[in-house]
Amino acid sequence: MDVINPATGELEETYDTETAADVDDALDDATETFDRWQTRPLRERERLLAATGEELRANDRSYAENITREMGKPISQALDEIEKCAWVCDHYAEHASTYLNPDGHPSPPGAVAKTAYEPLGPQLAVMPWNFPFWQVFRFAAPALTAGNVVVLKHASNVPGCAQAIENVFRRAGYPENAFQTLLIESTLVDDVLEDERVRGVTLTGSGPAGRAVASTAGHQLKKSVLELGGSDPFIVLDDADVEAAAETGASARMLNSGQSCIAAKRFLVHTDVYDAFLEQFVDDVEALTVGDPTNPDTDVGPLASSTFLEELDTQVEASLEAGGRAVTGGEPLDREGAYYPPTVLVDVPAGCPVDSQETFGPVAAVFEVEDETDALEKANETEFGLGASIWTDDRDRGRRLAREIDAGCVYVNQLVKSDPRVPFGGIKDSGFGRELSEAGIKEFVNRKTVWVE
């Protein structure tokens, strides 16, 4: 696996991939470790997770630099990502016992009926490159604490991050094979998932990858959780705080250089505030600093690879040819590296790529809508259903409209985000299942009914 620095296009390092025999050994190790790990007291597992948070914070600069080198995230945002991973460790270290405490149920006199939450076994995690630490930790922290063990197949462009994460858990004191990284090609994923030693799978990634994994997991009758793509609507109503909406909207679209499933992608703005919002939004977008991701002042770095740059540029070109108009940006920057400027498109025709597809980069499509009914119709016409954001000064109005949005999460007067305290996940082509909070830690457990007479 070659690591190409997306800011320079230069080869940073090459990693040897592992073979089917290596996978077999790893699954044997995982199975043996699980037999011992599941019997460790929950309080002990919580203490190890707390130590993991401490390890992340103690070496945050090193881990963040790894992220920046491999996928181009601006260093300040990479540091934030490491801190968020430490936060999810803190959360489950504090609350796992409460989440996993057996639930009581009504029963006749002399009987006690409860649901106990027990681990399933080795879990396969297939993870993406865009948040190379966070995506892993938001699954691994609850899964390990529930008593499972984890085998990670990470994206091929972030092998250094994958190995670093394994080292985080080892340094925190976990058993050697409680968390393992497999540097394997995607062609081996089905073989791993079909192995009887693997008891479930979680995937964050593209729709095609999700369908493939879900198909294999379904055939094997194994638990699966999928977090797939998104084309999140960002609705600005006529009574919204336009300045706040524009400022937050710029961050919601351009964070991580726009490479986020839950980034605001389609801005649906009421006609009464459309001009004011567009002007402010473009000003905020153009104020962002594009540049070297190792510079702490950089807001937008390169895309993760030249391939992703070409794919995004193709989507934008097709949308412009269909009649869209670029207010700012609209073509790759003439510089070394996979840089695409923050871009705002208007007059976007129905059915063109930036209207109907997920754009994974710093490109915002702004639509003018007549009223809230028009906004809801436009918001829900997508195949995706991950997140949505609604901006209004009337909270009751926001709550009412939130119930009419087809999405796994809706934020009123806030950008869509994943937070350890609340469940996260999508519907429709954005996947199924939930991560984080109590729902996340209970995805990969046996909800065992125990009746004692």
Residues recognised as catalytic: 227, 261
The secondary structure element, H or E, covering residue 390 is strand 387-391
Q: 147, exposed or middle or buried, with CB in 10 Å at 0-12, 13-18, 19+?
A: buried
281: enclosing H helix or E strand: helix 274-286
d(CA 298, CA 293): 6
DSSP 8-state class, residue 188:
G
Q: How far apart are CA 327 and CA 66, in angstroms?
A: 35
Handedness of CA 317, 318, 323, 326 (dihedral sign): negative
State the Cα–Cα distance between residues 58 and 113, nearest whole angstrom: 45
- Burial of 69-88, coded b for 16+ CB within 10 Å and e otherwise, reads bbbbbbbebbbbbbebbbbb
CA distance linking residue 376 with residue 235, whole number of Å: 9
